[in-house]
Chain A
Amino acid sequence: MFIISLTNNDRMKKYLFLSALLLLVSVAVHAQNLSLDLKDVPVREVIETLQRELGFSFVIKTNEIDLDRKVSVSVKDADINTILSQVLSGQKVTFTVDGQTVQVYKAEKPLEKETAVAAPPVVQVPQHVVRGRVTDPAGEPLIGCIVVPGKVSTKAVTTDLDGNYSVSVPKNGTLEFSYIGSHTIVEEVAGRNVINVVLRQKVESLDAVMVVGYGSTSKRLVSSSIASVSLDEIEKGADIDPVKALQGRVTGMSVSSSSGIPGTAPRVIIRGVSSISGNSSPLYVVDGIPAESYPNVNANDIESMEVLKDASATAIYGSRANSGVILITTKSGHKGNTRVQAGIYGGGAMVSHDIIMANTAEYTNVMGVAVDNYNAQQNALETLYVPENPADFDWMAAVSRKIALRSGASVSVSGGDAKTRFYSSVGYENEQGYLNTTGFKKVTGRVKLSHDITKWLEMNINTSIAYGRYDMVEETDGSLKILRAAREEQPWYTPVYEDNSWRVMSSGGLARHNPVMIIAEEDYYVNKYQLQGTVSAVFKPFKGFKYTPSLSGYSIYDKTIKKLTENNLERGYKDGWAALSEQKDNSFRYVFDNIVQYDNKWSELTFSILGGHSFEKYEYETFGAKSDNYTNEAFPSSSFNLITAGTSIYPGSIGYNAYALESWFSRMALNWADRYILNLSFRADGSSRFPEDNRYGFFPAGSLAWIVSNEKFFPVNPVATELKLRASAGQTGSMNGISNWAAMSLVAAGSPYNGSSGMRITQTAQNIRWEKASKFDFGADVEFFSGRMNLGTDVFYSVTEGLLYPRPVVSTTGYTSLTSNIGTMDNFGVEATLGGRIFDGPVKWDLSGNFSWSRNRLLSLLDKTPIIIVENAKLYGGNKHALIVGKPVSAWYMLRMDGIYQYDSDVPEKLYAKGVRAGDVKYYDLDNNGDIDDNDRVYCGKATPDFFGGVTSNLSWKGLELNVFCQYSVGGKVFSAWKGCGMEGTESLGLSSGSVTTDKGKSVVQYYNVSKKAATEYWRGPGTSNSMPRPVITGLHTGWDYDYNILTSTRYLEDASYFRIKNITLAYNFPGRWLEKAHVSGLRIYATVDNAYTFTKHEGYDPEASMSAGPASATYATDFGYEPMMRSFLFGLDIKF
């Protein structure tokens, strides 16, 4: 007999009493003969007493438990189960007892006292003992799974540490297996003695914890539009960029890869184009700290990502939330056994859709035709120079990799004891690019520590480091552009002469810079170091109150080095192209947050009030220097690695930038009986970017949710088990895309004359104000068949006013554009996601899909002209985008190609006079004046898609899993600048040329190579082609900037719609029983194909290609022909201890 009796106000007595009794404990503990008499004691104390005095160990796996709740318990001769069910009654938890170990879990419904205290029922029906094991699909045991014998009630049991259970039940009875976060399964006993069950995690549980701005809540209580993705859901292939992994999985979120240049960040747009300056990129918040740019986080460290979409969710981030917010939460350690996870992968990647160039025979033929066409029309006698013994060289093969290797590894260790939790990890990735020598390596590390100093004070430290090395080539450079040069080089030359010396442009006969030489004779890389750390404390002086001060520092240091060798015959000797240059950029940002939160309940009302203040300062400095080049031995040798080896040192880029942001914010969340949920938030932001009078922006928001299924009138039915309706409205802001100094009149130095210093007034202050969006959202979340199927839909509308943009002004003002608030834009959209379990037997099949449609429209712009042409160099396709009132941002505005003139008689008179003939492009003549110029440009669709989404399929059988993930995008258009337009391109057909000196010293004109398609499908007579014009050399067409056939037009505009089998992963999870002996708790091997196949009409490498991220920028959705995204094959292994 063991008796504990204590009340709150006689602790001394309690301890004396317990001490005395300790002597008596010994064997008594296991017996069901504990007696307890408690009045008004916190749960915490009871548990501590049981731990300390009786040797029970408690593992508490939920935050739901209220340890400060006062309880009174009085039992006699009870077992530990009975005691705990009394102590914890009324709380949404459940527990299991295994020997001396007690585990407490979160439960769907409050624990009922009665079931536990009630005496064991008298069993009327013959009982039958069933044993079995409950595991997850990976074969891991589920500990504490509740097994309830149905119909005739006997006592429920829970599974033990190995997932085993044993229960009495009638032979014809049922067993209901339920586990937190998993689907409940009911099995007919049907006379069986052993029933093993696999429980599968719910795809989306309404009880899942969801991170929101400056806090967290359960999904059930979310009243705004937030998508939560746990990285476990993303079937790990490897090689995942965490944000890229969200592509096709979150409604309303468009993620696309601009190019395959290693280490390039994707473009992300949430709920349509939010801005016409800047890149419409969302705000990333990593562990509560807003990141300056695209976050560099090891995917394996991520616990969950939340995409905040509507104003109610984002307005707490105020001034930077116009484009949505992505919250990234990293993993933390938990009390218990130390867990080790490790993974490695490796594989290769290759071009998935190549662009084939003409070979020497095709090239020679088509250029001959171009010259012939010229001669015929001009009555001239031009000839095509063809070298003696022409080679047939594949320049692309010479600069690219057939197979680019990929590999990676990661290890994490986590754990904790009663007071301290930790998580630490190291990750490594290595990726070769398509072009020779390009690549990207990344090493990341993270340490998270959390320590309870006292009951009311917790300290947290979270630090991460990342090192990235980007090996680059002159690819995006407008002058060298290696990849394009390689394609368009004459195939009849090789990169070297017989003596192995480099052939160079112009004097070596090449029409383009020698890309093989440039790659070989240059070392060009960036090292990026990032260090981030947060120190925070949580004060909990009394129940429900929490004060969290935190200080975060974020530091980025980039070092760019470019080194040419003496053998770089084109660049090594050019003034300004230093032999060695070095550039160092560093930025430092700190954020100081103070947040106070109070949570409590009053009757049926649960409420949470939050208030905070945040100050943030960012500073950036860049500093660089360069040496001489190799002329006159100014730089002695490329063996030197420091610029001081040169005779002179010159400044590189030197600059400074900074901003500061001070914010006050508050939020109130009210929940009445889990039926009505109201969230109100308010933020005030003051930014140094705006003039003092307009410095502060105010961003209010509110949302309301109604959980209809919790109403009494909602019929209990097996179909729709949960129904929630949401509505929200609010305002957010943007200060994106404008200079930190736009609001100041500035004088610059650095303008000396004849050796004497000088200053210039370079900027006039602009009276700008915040760009503000008012957003509205209506949504419904429905759960069918107890979570077997989920449907979520949202309809949203937003209006953005005061759009910040470099407004074009007449140059008599001294400027060609001035940053101003110039217009209004709106977005309307619908999103839906549907998912469910199709097969639920030994073979399981989950299928889910989502759909996002949105419409963007500019409502107003400048007064005088409802259109702003977005200017762009010819090389990048010329002017092809425009901001047009009534049309979407990213609108294409150019000449429309209506085919090819098939007969000379079809050509209008004015064009005929300017040299246009049959075989030339036929453009739409808008003003019908018989001539073609800029006045004939028309709206030609837009770059952003109408709708997009993804489909995920998970098929599993025993330990085998097959995951297929597909994406689609419909309605966007991409401009293929690599094909031509301007002076070069793979379809220029004789119009791109240069004067070069042949090996014999003769000056001749040489033409760029064209694609095999252009070289074989060109127009050669009526009816032969209606899309590819005749080859001609320059001079036939007069009166246009470059030439008639290559004007910026829909000739180069392609449908970017696609359906892509993005990822196929086949994995095998070794069964637990095989692993136990090796003390391994999980082992998974997998093979994955990424970017498997794309169905598209687009002819380039990838329909997602874009030179820039901002939808209103001149080169948006412009495919310049950068390195392609490749198809990769990877094999990997993950292991857990």
Chain B
Amino acid sequence: MKKLLLVFAAAIAASACSSMIDDIAPKNYIKAETLSQEDIGKLCNGMRYKMESVVKSIWYRGDWLSENFTSGPGFDVADVHAETQSAASSIALSDWRTLFTTLNEVNELLRRSSGIDGVKAKEALGNAYFFRAWIYYNLVIRFGGVPILKSPTMDVVPFSKEEDVWAFIITDLQEAINVLPEHYSIYYPGKDAAKLLLARVYLWRGRNSDAASLAEEVIKSRHVLNNTAEDFAKMFIYGTENQEIVLALANIRSTGYNLIYDSVNDVDGSWNYSPAPKYYGSLYQDTPFHSGDIRKEATFSEADATRLIKFPNGGTGMNQFIVNAKASNSPLVMFRLADAYLIRAEALGPESGLKVLKEFMEHRYSSVTLPSSMGEKEYQNLILDENNREFFGEGRRWFDIKRTGRTDLYDTWNGRDFLLYWPIPQKERDIAGKDVYPQNNGYSD
């Protein structure tokens, strides 16, 4: 009997395993408590990895909403403009959520890299300021005033006015310019990328001379404009080192690809977007001002009007203008020298801008004959057209229209009760409360 009780006691003791409960932990994660200052560089990489997917997820907004695109095969939509015109809009919600959840991650990196020394910490800090500014830039051009979060918080933060958001962006970019290194690789943000973004911000705010001078600083840096269709196309292929690029996200990974082409050029026959017929036929046509646009053959397909060949087509980039060795790892180009020229040209206005514009165009056309002077509107038309030729399929157009207020360029918009500020997503308002998250003008509350 004694033996039996011993066995029994031993068995109970052996199975009293409270400590084993505490030992249960995931293998593919580590606990956040275990992070140290040493890890700051890796966290910075993690943030840039996240930014790749963010940039990809909002990539086509400006093309889609501006009618640059029409439905692709296997996809049809009743009313593209309705997509941002109600508080239930899925596009507004998706962008809001993507940008704000990422902001939290950026803020966390900023918190962890503030006040510590070292090259990695400084780089992380600069990156965090830069990307936070980029996130708020994307929020403010969509929604206007939004909550400003300077650090991670679980609290519901009330809205700030639009001008405060712009001011916050400018401060962040000035910090970024201070902290970031001079340009050292097209795949990492340097001072010039931050300057370009700030120049664009100034353009939005109407601070044209500030915009022009910052753009000029970038023009004077070591970047080089492309002259041929092939060189232009090389900006969009895997492993590019094209010197026109100011900042591209590398997008190198072996899983969870960011395929910008699965929306425009999928190979299974059901992609979402195709170039709108009106642009396919006319965007790159010759005008009295210029002819022989090098971007035409690098952008549209001679053979197939439903494809955009600026980016990879399918897995091997088989229909891309030039061979892309690893289509799924194609870079996401955020800024290039063309931005600097076009910002500067726009900021300077027709009087002194024409010269800048001509300098730029000479790299993009086989012949350019610009007049010595132009009216404001005509000049703006030219600038907007040039922007669309340059950035077709890169998500810029709708925001250019909004910035300049030129809705008249669209038959389907003009005269329509169309709101240029996106609605604050109803779902977020439901959670935060309508008073804390007021709706933008024009939408039902």
Contact across chains for B76 and A994 when beta carbons are under 8 A apart: yes
CA distance A869 to B427 in the complex (A): 9
Contact across chains for A814 and B152 when beta carbons are under 8 A apart: yes
A interface footprint on B22-39 (CB within 8 Å = 1, 0 otherwise) = 111111111111110001
Contact across chains for A864 and B73 when beta carbons are under 8 A apart: no
B interface footprint on A745-756 (CB within 8 Å = 1, 0 otherwise) = 111111111111
B292 within 8 Å of A (CB atoms): no
A629 within 8 Å of B (CB atoms): yes
| Nearest chain B residue, comparing its CB with the CB of A862 | B431
CA distance A505 to B26 in the complex (A): 43
Task: Report chain B residues within 8 Å CB of A513.
Answer: 268-270
A interface footprint on B80-108 (CB within 8 Å = 1, 0 otherwise) = 00110111111000001100110111001
B49 within 8 Å of A (CB atoms): yes
Q: Which of A632, A1035, A1041 contacts B83 (CB 8 A)?
A: A1041
Question: What's the minimum C-beta distance from B75 to chain A, rounded to whole angstroms?
Answer: 7
Task: Report chain B residues within 8 Å CB of A997.
Answer: 73
CA distance A575 to B259 in the complex (A): 10
CA distance A815 to B97 in the complex (A): 8
CA distance A864 to B33 in the complex (A): 33
Q: Which of B20, B32, B77, B86 contacts A1039 (CB 8 A)?
A: B86
Contact across chains for B45 and A656 when beta carbons are under 8 A apart: no
Contacts A547-B8, A752-B45, A993-B76 given; indicate if A506 touches B270 (C-beta within 8 A): yes
| Nearest chain A residue, comparing its CB with the CB of B73 | A506
CA distance A977 to B4 in the complex (A): 63
| Most A Cβ at <10 Å: residue of B35, B86, B267 | B267
Contact across chains for B82 and A1040 when beta carbons are under 8 A apart: yes
Task: Report chain B residues within 8 Å CB of A487.
Answer: none
Task: Report chain B residues within 8 Å CB of A657.
Answer: 26
CA distance A744 to B30 in the complex (A): 9
Q: Which of A614, A655, A745 contacts B28 (CB 8 A)?
A: A655
CA distance A407 to B215 in the complex (A): 77
Contacts A629-B315, A816-B97 given; indicate if A746 touches B30 (C-beta within 8 A): yes
| Nearest chain B residue, comparing its CB with the CB of A549 | B11
CA distance A1043 to B83 in the complex (A): 12
A504 within 8 Å of B (CB atoms): yes
Task: Report chain A residues within 8 Å CB of B73.
Answer: 505-507, 994-997
Task: Report chain B residues within 8 Å CB of A687.
Answer: 21
CA distance A983 to B75 in the complex (A): 9
Contact across chains for A811 and B101 when beta carbons are under 8 A apart: yes
Question: What's the minimum C-beta distance from B278 to chain A, rounded to whole angstroms?
Answer: 15
Interface-side segment among B227-235, B250-258, B355-363, B376-384: B250-258
| Nearest chain A residue, comparing its CB with the CB of B49 | A751
Contact across chains for B29 and A812 when beta carbons are under 8 A apart: no
B266 within 8 Å of A (CB atoms): yes
Contact across chains for B24 and A746 when beta carbons are under 8 A apart: no
B337 within 8 Å of A (CB atoms): no
Give the interface residue-count category, chain A: 35 or more
| Nearest chain B residue, comparing its CB with the CB of A873 | B90
Contact across chains for B269 and A507 when beta carbons are under 8 A apart: yes
Task: Report chain B residues within 8 Å CB of A688.
Answer: 21-22, 24
CA distance A1003 to B74 in the complex (A): 12
Contacts A573-B315, A810-B432, A812-B149 given; indicate if A933 touches B29 (C-beta within 8 A): no
Contact across chains for B88 and A995 when beta carbons are under 8 A apart: no
Contact across chains for B268 and A576 when beta carbons are under 8 A apart: no
B119 within 8 Å of A (CB atoms): no
Contact across chains for B78 and A1040 when beta carbons are under 8 A apart: yes
Interface-side segment among B153-161, B175-183, B194-202, B204-212: B153-161
Contacts A541-B4, A757-B42 given; indicate if A613 touches B76 (C-beta within 8 A): no
B6 within 8 Å of A (CB atoms): no
Task: Report chain B residues within 8 Å CB of A753.
Answer: 44-46, 48-49, 52, 250, 252
CA distance A141 to B32 in the complex (A): 71
Q: Which of A594, A686, A756, A1034 contacts B11 (CB 8 A)?
A: A594
Contact across chains for A1041 and B82 when beta carbons are under 8 A apart: yes
Interface-side segment among A263-271, A759-767, A1101-1109: A759-767
CA distance A77 to B179 in the complex (A): 113
A809 within 8 Å of B (CB atoms): yes
Contact across chains for B45 and A756 when beta carbons are under 8 A apart: yes
A393 within 8 Å of B (CB atoms): no
A1037 within 8 Å of B (CB atoms): yes
A387 within 8 Å of B (CB atoms): no
Contact across chains for A814 and B101 when beta carbons are under 8 A apart: yes
| Nearest chain B residue, comparing its CB with the CB of A508 | B269
B226 within 8 Å of A (CB atoms): no
CA distance A340 to B315 in the complex (A): 60
B309 within 8 Å of A (CB atoms): no
Contacts A660-B20, A864-B433 given; indicate if A574 touches B268 (C-beta within 8 A): yes
| B contact residues, total (Cβ < 8 Å) | 101
CA distance A25 to B73 in the complex (A): 99
B374 within 8 Å of A (CB atoms): no
Q: Which of A511, A575, A761 contacts B328 (CB 8 A)?
A: A575
- B residues 421-440 with Cβ under 8 Å of A? 426-428, 430-433, 437
Contact across chains for B16 and A933 when beta carbons are under 8 A apart: no
Question: What's the minimum C-beta distance from A977 to chain B, rounded to whole angstroms?
Answer: 18
Contact across chains for B96 and A811 when beta carbons are under 8 A apart: yes
Contacts A758-B46, A811-B101 given; indicate if A995 touches B74 (C-beta within 8 A): yes
Q: Which of A504, A650, A812 contacts B147 (CB 8 A)?
A: A812
Task: Report chain A residues within 8 Å CB of B23.
Answer: 660
| Nearest chain A residue, comparing its CB with the CB of B255 | A651
Question: What's the minimum C-beta distance from A877 to chain B, rounded to whole angstroms?
Answer: 15
Contact across chains for A1038 and B187 when beta carbons are under 8 A apart: no
| Most B Cβ at <10 Å: residue of A740, A765, A812, A994 | A812
A571 within 8 Å of B (CB atoms): yes
Q: Which of B12, B147, B252, B433 contacts A613 (CB 8 A)?
A: B12
A596 within 8 Å of B (CB atoms): yes
Task: Report chain B residues within 8 Å CB of A511.
Answer: 74
Q: Which of B14, B26, B85 contacts A746 (CB 8 A)?
A: B26
Question: What's the minimum C-beta distance from A625 to chain B, rounded to whole angstroms?
Answer: 11
| Nearest chain A residue, comparing its CB with the CB of B51 | A753
Contact across chains for A934 and B426 when beta carbons are under 8 A apart: yes
Task: Report chain A residues within 8 Å CB of B78.
Answer: 1034-1035, 1037-1038, 1040, 1042-1043
Task: Report chain B residues within 8 Å CB of A541.
Answer: 1, 4
Contacts A505-B270, A631-B316, A995-B72 given; indicate if A741 touches B29 (C-beta within 8 A): yes
Contact across chains for A750 and B28 when beta carbons are under 8 A apart: yes
B43 within 8 Å of A (CB atoms): yes
Task: Report chain A residues within 8 Å CB of B89.
Answer: 1041
Contact across chains for B21 and A660 when beta carbons are under 8 A apart: yes
CA distance A634 to B108 in the complex (A): 42
B50 within 8 Å of A (CB atoms): yes
A112 within 8 Å of B (CB atoms): no
B interface footprint on A508-530 (CB within 8 Å = 1, 0 otherwise) = 10010100000000000000000
CA distance A935 to B79 in the complex (A): 21
| Nearest chain B residue, comparing its CB with the CB of A616 | B17
Task: Report chain B residues within 8 Å CB of A929.
Answer: 444
CA distance A746 to B34 in the complex (A): 10
A695 within 8 Å of B (CB atoms): yes
Contact across chains for B31 and A613 when beta carbons are under 8 A apart: no
| Most B Cβ at <10 Å: residue of A504, A632, A871, A995 | A995
Question: What's the minimum C-beta distance from B144 to chain A, rounded to whole angstroms?
Answer: 16
Contact across chains for B314 and A575 when beta carbons are under 8 A apart: yes
B246 within 8 Å of A (CB atoms): no
Contacts A574-B268, A745-B32 given; indicate if A812 touches B153 (C-beta within 8 A): yes
Contacts A745-B32, A758-B46 given; indicate if A752 touches B314 (C-beta within 8 A): no
Contacts A651-B255, A655-B28, A811-B428 given; indicate if A505 touches B74 (C-beta within 8 A): yes
Name the 5 nearest CB pairs between A and B, nearest first.
Answer: A814-B104, A758-B45, A575-B315, A506-B269, A745-B32
- What would 22 A/B residue contacts be, using CB atoms closer than 8 Å? A539-B4, A547-B4, A574-B266, A575-B328, A576-B315, A594-B15, A658-B26, A688-B24, A740-B26, A745-B32, A745-B33, A752-B253, A754-B188, A757-B42, A762-B29, A764-B154, A808-B430, A816-B97, A995-B76, A996-B74, A1037-B79, A1040-B82
